[in-house]
Amino acid sequence: MEVANGKDILMLIAGIHANHNAGVTLIDRGHIIFSTEEERMSGVKRDSSPFLTIGKMRYEYMPVDTQLSFAAISGFTPINNPTGNVIDPWSRENLYVSYLKKLKLITHDYQVVDFGNLHHLLHAATAFYRSEFENSIAIVVDGSGSPLDGLKNIEAESIYECSYPHSFKPLYKRTMSEGEISFTKENDCIYFNHPAPGIGAMYDMIGCICGFKILDCGKTMGLAAYGKQDPSLSNLIKYENDYPVGDYDIIDFTPRENHLGYFKFKPGNYLLEKTKKDIAFAIQEQSEQAVLHLINKAKQLSNSKNIVLSGGFFQNCKANYRIVKENPDYNFYVEPLCYDGGLSLGAALLQFHTVTPNGRIKNIKEKIKIT
């Protein structure tokens, strides 16, 4: 770690992820000065609202008379979205914006970059910029991402074609939608809206059946090693339009509830009578196959020979090993910070490459001099 104290610093950017696994990353011209998660400050696992971490960045890693060029804020929804917005009771501003101003990290609204509706794109950006590939396909699989249409269509799986300085062309967007099924192609991107849970959400829900809490998928992966194949569990992930979807016959989708309450099992759920370790084995095997299927689809949608993997699902090291082993003709980068703890880094890097294409600075309204 180092303190930003060069004499000719041109640009400090903070990426701030404000939801679960909240974190802050400070970069100086693309170079990481500071990056950590709120849980390291508070001791609360997967903590959100990174006020302690913002304060640590301010007082331990930045001279007090300096400001940020940009604060790139990530979450699940835009910061002024009525559902996701958290408001200062007096100024009526977004609470994070108000806090950044209070700490003299910003003074103007133009210093705030709202990446709140780019959850999957930020996962892709984290992996792509750190991969050092000139171009790549990005496969993003996680529990849930941003709502793309109000709260109706929530990101489940995404495929992008990535290139410098900041091109993330969507090739596939599968969303968990409120009862509507559609499969369309627009501008070379397949949009697949379906009420079924995505691969990551299905894995999460199965973990709950196995006795674990939401987001505890690593425990399910460990339990799977003790299970065996049960033919009656072969449909946890199905295929429609030749793309994977979770088993919506056993799960209800309720998108207007809070983020961790989107799904619940329907009454009479047959999984309750099955052996937990065999259920874990089934979702592990079927999710591996589903992601391999997505990767084969991605290969048909892009000419790039490089693939980056991001989104919380890719903490699944068993799946990653199989993916790399079964695709020897492709170069892989698996993002270690593929879960939401990496989003502050992705937000900072994306903003840096957006305002400095080819290393040149544009649209900067002020230069920062640190003495």
Q: Which residues bind Fe ion (CB under 5 A)?
A: 142, 340
CB-nearer residue toward Fe ion: 103 or 343: 343
CB-nearer residue toward Fe ion: 145 or 195: 145
Please name which of 190, 152, 154 lies closest in space to residue 171, comparing C-alpha atoms.
190
CB of 347 to Fe ion, least distance (A): 12
Residues 6+ apart with CB under 8 A from 159: 137, 138, 139, 140, 170, 171, 172, 294, 297, 298, 301, 302
SS3 category, 244? strand
CB-nearer residue toward Fe ion: 142 or 161: 142
CB-nearer residue toward Fe ion: 196 or 343: 343
Residues 6+ apart with CB under 8 A from 332: 306, 307, 308, 309, 323, 324
Residues 6+ apart with CB under 8 A from 122: 74, 115, 343, 346, 347, 350
CB-nearer residue toward Fe ion: 161 or 340: 340
CB of 21 to Fe ion, least distance (A): 8
CB of 298 to Fe ion, least distance (A): 18
CB of 50 to Fe ion, least distance (A): 16
Q: Which of left, alpha, beta for 242 (phi over 0: left; psi -120 to 50: alpha)?
A: left
Residues 6+ apart with CB under 8 A from 330: 299, 305, 306, 307
Q: 28 vs 61, 144, 165, 246, CA distance in Å?
A: 11, 31, 17, 42
CB of 143 to Fe ion, least distance (A): 7
Q: 143 vs 41, 169, 202, CA distance in Å?
A: 25, 22, 8
CB-nearer residue toward Fe ion: 66 or 131: 131
Q: Are 20 and 46 in contact (CB under 8 A)?
A: yes
CB of 184 to Fe ion, least distance (A): 24
How far is it, in rounded angstroms, from Cα 186 to Cα 171?
9
Q: Are 153 and 166 in contact (CB under 8 A)?
A: no
How far is it, in rounded angstroms, from Cα 174 to Cα 169?
15
Q: Give me the residue whose beta carbon is nearest to Fe ion.
A: 142
CB-nearer residue toward Fe ion: 46 or 238: 46
CB of 20 to Fe ion, least distance (A): 9
CB of 122 to Fe ion, least distance (A): 8
CB-nearer residue toward Fe ion: 39 or 340: 340
